[in-house]
């Protein structure tokens, strides 16, 4: 049985712990590769990778493009703003159209939770979810886990506080699933309006007090407020957010002495995290997260095309 028997990577939910570890281990080889002066591998030569991002992105889109190019793929970015989507074409028809062009990999981001699975159901090639609404963001969780493991040497037993807009964050959801599966003690911290429903929080510790939530934490992961997904009545409740939930250097003292700080980006400096905390070279893993994102995505592209390349 393959170490990773899945055709697509739609989410962390449904992956076994050993499958998650396999992805992390595979990504490790690409970290050193990406630090070489020449970064050229031809294992995806002749394969076509299509990136279709229906939401704006810097880190995820660019890193998938770099990952595919470094592995030798023909990488095509679909320009959604200039596509037939603007004429009313449905997501399903867009997927069927692209599928007819016979791509070998399809990477997508969409504002609708579940969109990646809908597309995977009609595509003949592997589909990677680059973020689907408030659903999941599997490669972000994988790169976050890799960053934690490389800095801390382990994930099991660590206390991880995920703080901010939990309700609307696909990053929070994927990280909660992944880190819990690998034995971390995960707690969610944020305003009551931005925490998930009680049904989603079974077995997960929560707090509406940032000071309490990060106390003793080994990892403090901050999230931005996703204003593009907020309801009007929720926005009105967040006027004092900066005062209550911004991670400052003084607040960070409540965490473990060697705690690390993370953020998936983009950062709103002075809102969810102070600039001097984000830029702290000893405590902040933010830029390392960006670097490891390329390695993780190279591993995913490689793994999901292995069967196709050897058939």
pLDDT in tens, 161-200: 999 999 999 999 999 999 999 999 999 999 998 998 888 8
* Inter-residue contact 217 to 267 (CB < 8 Å): no
| Integer Cα distance of 72 and 45 in angstroms | 5
* Inter-residue contact 162 to 37 (CB < 8 Å): no
Residue ranges matching CATH 3.40.50.1370 in the chain: 17-136+290-310, 138-285
CATH assignment of 17-136+290-310, given 3.30.420.40, 3.40.1210.10, 2.30.40.10, 3.40.50.1370? Answer: 3.40.50.1370
In CATH, the architecture of 138-285 is 3-Layer(aba) Sandwich (3.40)
* Inter-residue contact 269 to 248 (CB < 8 Å): no
pLDDT tops 70 at residue 234:
no
Backbone angles phi, psi at 49, to 5 degrees: -110, 125
pTM here is 0.95
pLDDT tier at 231 (50, 70, 90 boundaries)?
A: low
């Amino acid at each position: 049985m393959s170490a990773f028997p899945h055709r697509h990577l739609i989410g962390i939910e449904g992956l076994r712990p050993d499958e998650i570890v396999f992805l992390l281990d595979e990504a490790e080889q690409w970290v050193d590769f990406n630090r070489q002066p020449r970064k050229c591998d031809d294992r995806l030569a002749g394969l076509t990778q299509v990136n279709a991002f229906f939401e704006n992105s810097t880190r995820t889109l660019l890193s998938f493009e770099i990952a595919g190019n470094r592995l030798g793929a023909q990488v095509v970015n679909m320009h959604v703003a200039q596509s037939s989507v603007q004429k009313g074409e449905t997501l399903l028809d867009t997927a069927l159209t692209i599928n007819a062009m016979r791509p070998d990999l399809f990477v997508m981001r969409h504002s609708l939770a579940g969109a990646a699975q809908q597309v995977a159901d009609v595509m003949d090639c592997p589909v990677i979810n680059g973020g689907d609404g408030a659903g999941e963001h599997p490669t972000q969780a994988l790169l976050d886990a890799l960053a934690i493991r490389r800095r801390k040497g382990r994930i099991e037993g660590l206390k991880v506080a995920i703080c901010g807009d939990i309700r609307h964050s696909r990053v929070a959801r994927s990280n909660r699933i992944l880190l819990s599966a690998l034995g971390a003690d995960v707690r969610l911290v944020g305003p009551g309006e931005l925490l998930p429903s009680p049904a989603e929080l079974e077995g997960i510790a929560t707090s509406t007090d940032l000071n309490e939530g990060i106390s003793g934490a080994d990892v403090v992961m901050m999230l931005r407020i996703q204003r593009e997904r907020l309801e009007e009545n929720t926005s009105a409740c967040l006027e004092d957010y900066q005062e209550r939930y911004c991670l400052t250097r003084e607040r960070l003292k409540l965490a473990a002495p060697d705690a690390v700080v993370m953020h998936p980006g983009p950062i709103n400096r002075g809102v969810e995290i102070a600039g001097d905390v984000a830029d702290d070279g000893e405590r902040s893993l933010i830029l390392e997260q960006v670097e490891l994102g390329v390695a993780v995505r190279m591993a995913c592209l490689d793994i999901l095309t292995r069967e196709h390349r050897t058939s």
